[in-house]
Amino acid sequence: MSGGYNEIHPEPTTFWSKYILSFDHKVIAKQFLWYGIFFLGVGGLMAILIRWTLANPGIPFPVLGNLLFPASGGVVPPDTYSMLFTMHGTIMIFYAITPILIGAFGNYCIPLMIGARDMAFPLLNMLSFWFAFLSGAVLLISFFVPLGAADGGWTSYPTLSTLIGSPGMGQTLWCVAIFLFGVSSTMGAVNYVTTVITLRAPGMGYFDMPLTIWGLWLTAILNAIFVPVLGAGVILLILDRVMGTTFFLAGASATSGSGDPVLFQHVFWIFGHPEVYILILPAWGIVSDLLSFFSRKPAFGAKATALSMTAVTVLSTLVYGHHMFTTQMSPLLTQSFMTLTMTISIPSAIFFANWLGTIWRGSIRFDSPMLFSLGVVFVFGLGGLTGLHLGTVTTDLYLHDTYFVVGHFHYTMAASVLLGGFAGIYFWFPKMFGRMMNETMAKIHFWGTMIPLNGIFFGMLIVGYGGMHRRIYNPFVYESLQRLIPVNNIITTSALLMGAFQLVFLYNFIASLLRGPKAESNPWQVGTLEWTIPSPPPHHNYDVIPVVKCGPHELGNPNLKTGRDFQYQTEELVEA
Amino acid sequence: MSLKRSELQINLATNIVIISVSMLFATLFMGYAIYRTSATVWPPMGISRISLVLPSLSTVVLFISSFFCYRVSKNIRKVNFPNAHRNLNLTIVFGVGFLILQGLLWNQMKNTGIYVSSGIFASLNYAFTWIHFAHMVAGLVGLIYLKRVLKPETINLQTKTKSVENFWYFLEIVWIIMFVTLFVF
């Protein structure tokens, strides 16, 4: 089974083999999707608790407050606040975005969009999910151990994350969970890279692959290379905490010998900066495809977009030092990292311009996947532009560790990826579940997300620029920051609104799953391979492996005589 | 065609795994380089250098194990399965021997006053050998798997053997780097 011959696997017959220990990439994708949505809810609730505390310090959290924090009368206590921002970041990055964007879409789309029957290693694929599950379980258990969950921030810098800063078991379990998640991600990466290289349908060259696959493939390459770097870091941190080594202990905190806390920062960001692109590349790929599909015209400069994404992937490995400008790095190094960081703007600008070129004079269909894709263009533009201030040494020294940073990375890593994820869910839901989602509710969800989202993250940019530091329980004990209370109230109100509108999505998702109208095989009228087969696809995907004859974005060709405005990838290319 | 493809898949996957594990060890060695170059005295004052006997013996034993491992794939190419089994057994025996020597090394370090918590020198020596040990156990699991499938009718036997073999060689290379950096210099 694990050899992967692209042959038809026997269909599972029992409940366990079909839904729990399934080898089928489509079932594993759905497992990752449910897993990601669950953690999105958990991480989202934490975000609301954080925002409530910042807007209403000392006031009990309504309804749930007394249940969650009975000892403090429903008020979020300071130590819990640290746990909340630590676990919110960890959960959203590793346990919500990664499973949805990479686990769900990677598993679902890669075999279907390249014309394969499954992943190269189905057993490894199943193990990848169950390692992620185990990791999630360990992370959740860490809330219930003495002294609670990890509270050293999602970056877990020593000495905050050593026994000096976090004496409880929570931080150790955090490290174990992250290590297990790394194993899961590496397994997935091995599978994705191998599948894309070896199981593409006959005739499908690399540039005939949809850009979604380019994004997922490049993400997998980055995962395979850089997740083990974090793995090494957390192993050493575990050894420091459990076995008594002193890798990250220095000065008075080291009883003998001397380690180096800053080394962890290097290790973390060597992984951490590519991680940003690990998360965002799939969203870029999805958006690049969807903009073309819903503009009813070929993706402008598709090859250049693919190559730009590749260039960003390469450059992302060389810029990590911009996260550490304030660690007394040599000016020569800071300037080198700054220059390399600025260089990323070039390929980013190319594919951003290509996105605009794609929608320019297109016959745009404002269906929900397109709305969310356009949302990504907007928020990623803002996120990218605010990144310039943080990549520049002089401005970063002022803005470092302020809410400006929080606003920036939420625009890039949260807003862009979240909207890209929703675009993907609305787009592939009919294929995944064979039913259509309610379009009106989807549009309400879009506007209910898009407007408050900007209220939150633009507000964060403002308060950060105003000098408000991140990770402070009650910043308004400082008189100079009290003028920022009104903006903070706007941010929190926006967060509550955005949270409320996610319930619309949840209702739409579940209701459509149960009783949505049946989906046709190709409801969006696009030509990539997955739309040539029924919705949902049969167990083995393709009765006959398709032969690819043209690219994925053949839309709007006036010479088409088929009565359609698009070509399937299996059709001979009609010259425009 | 499909057999060739599955061979390519196994080769590719093995190479990716080796690249991933290399990155893990590269990170460790990067840390080592930083600690080592920023230290004024090495080993730190009050800590004695680790005797080279057990690390050298470990190197020789692992080298012998790899030699037998190399013979396994040669035997398979020549369809000489009895010899392949014998050489694979020897690979495993010497592999286990290496692990035993590692245990003795840790015991010796403890007996000479180098405890895990004795500072960065001890941290590096213990942690690196532990992490390498864990990978060696994984390599041994691969060898035992190979032993189970070492029969003529196994599909892709040569490719599977090559994959396990390459991982075993990789671990030997990592050990040699550790031997030179941790123990010799």
Residue of A226, A223, A457 whose CA lies nearest to A320? A226
Question: Which residues between 200 and 239 in chain A have a beta carbon less than 8 angstroms from any beta carbon of chain B?
Answer: 224-229, 231-233, 235-236, 239
A65 and A134 Cβ atoms separated by less than 8 Å: no
Whole-number Å distance between alpha carbons of A288 and A415: 16
Residue of A417, A430, A426, A461 whose CA lies nearest to A446? A426
Predicted pLDDT of residue A34: 97
Q: What is the CA radius of gyration of chain A?
A: 24
A190 vs B13, B23, B27: nearest CB: B13
Examine the pLDDT at B3 and tell me if it is beyond 80. Answer: no
Examine the pLDDT at A3 and tell me if it is beyond 60. Answer: no
Examine the pLDDT at A254 and tell me if it is beyond 80. Answer: no
**pLDDT tens, position by position, A365-389:** 999 999 999 999 999 999 999 999 9
Average pLDDT score over chain B? 94
**pLDDT tens, position by position, A303-346:** 999 999 999 999 999 999 999 999 988 999 999 999 999 999 99
Examine the pLDDT at B47 and tell me if it is beyond 90. Answer: no
**pLDDT tens, position by position, A119-169:** 999 999 999 999 999 999 999 999 999 999 999 999 999 989 999 899 999
With cut-offs at 50, 70 and 90, classify the pLDDT of residue A256: low
Beta bridge partners of residue A402, listed in sequence order: A469
**pLDDT tens, position by position, A528-543:** 999 999 999 999 999 9
Q: Alpha carbon of A188 to those of A29, A212, A273, A516: distances in Å?
A: 11, 16, 20, 32
B28 vs A190, A232, A266: nearest CB: A232
Contact residues on chain A for B117, CB-CB shorter than 8 A: 243-246, 255-256
A121 and A4 Cβ atoms separated by less than 8 Å: yes
| ipTM of this complex prediction, to 2 decimal places | 0.95
With cut-offs at 50, 70 and 90, classify the pLDDT of residue B6: confident
Predicted pLDDT of residue A328: 87
Q: Which residues of B touch A (CB under 8 A)?
A: 2-3, 5-6, 8-10, 12-13, 16-17, 19-21, 23-28, 30-31, 34-35, 38, 44, 115-123, 126-127, 130-131, 155-156
With cut-offs at 50, 70 and 90, classify the pLDDT of residue A1: very low
Predicted pLDDT of residue B2: 61
Question: Which residues between 347 and 376 in chain A have a beta carbon less than 8 angstroms from any beta carbon of chain B?
Answer: none
Q: What is the CA radius of gyration of chain B?
A: 19
Q: If 0-12 CB within 10 Å is exposed, 13-18 middle and 19+ buried, where does residue A360 land?
A: exposed
Q: If 0-12 CB within 10 Å is exposed, 13-18 middle and 19+ buried, where does residue A71 land?
A: exposed
Whole-number Å distance between alpha carbons of A236 and B33: 15
**pLDDT tens, position by position, B128-173:** 999 999 999 999 999 999 999 999 999 999 999 999 999 999 999 9
**A260 and B38 in contact by Cβ < 8 A?**
yes
- The letter for the amino acid at A521 is S
Residues A354-360: what's their mean pLDDT?
97
Whole-number Å distance between alpha carbons of A458 and B100: 60
With cut-offs at 50, 70 and 90, classify the pLDDT of residue A36: very high
Q: Which of B11, B117, B154, B174 to mutate to test the interface with A (most CBs of A within 10 A)?
A: B117
Which residues in A143-176 are b (16+ Cβ under 10 Å) and which e? eeeeebbbbbbbbbbbbbbbbebbebbbbbbbbb
Average pLDDT score over chain A? 95
Whole-number Å distance between alpha carbons of A386 and A409: 9
Whole-number Å distance between alpha carbons of A10 and A539: 9
Residue of A222, A224, A323, A232 whose CA lies nearest to A277? A222
DSSP state of A9: P
* Residue scoring higher pLDDT (A301 or B1): A301
| Six-digit token string for A289 | 């495809």
Whole-number Å distance between alpha carbons of B41 and A505: 62
Give the SS3 label for residue A440: helix
∠ Cα A467 A473 A475 (to 5°)? 30
User: Is-above-0.90 flag for pTM?
Assistant: yes
With cut-offs at 50, 70 and 90, classify the pLDDT of residue A562: confident
A30 and A109 Cβ atoms separated by less than 8 Å: no
Examine the pLDDT at A64 and tell me if it is beyond 60. Answer: yes
Contact residues on chain B for A231, CB-CB shorter than 8 A: 24
With cut-offs at 50, 70 and 90, classify the pLDDT of residue A5: low
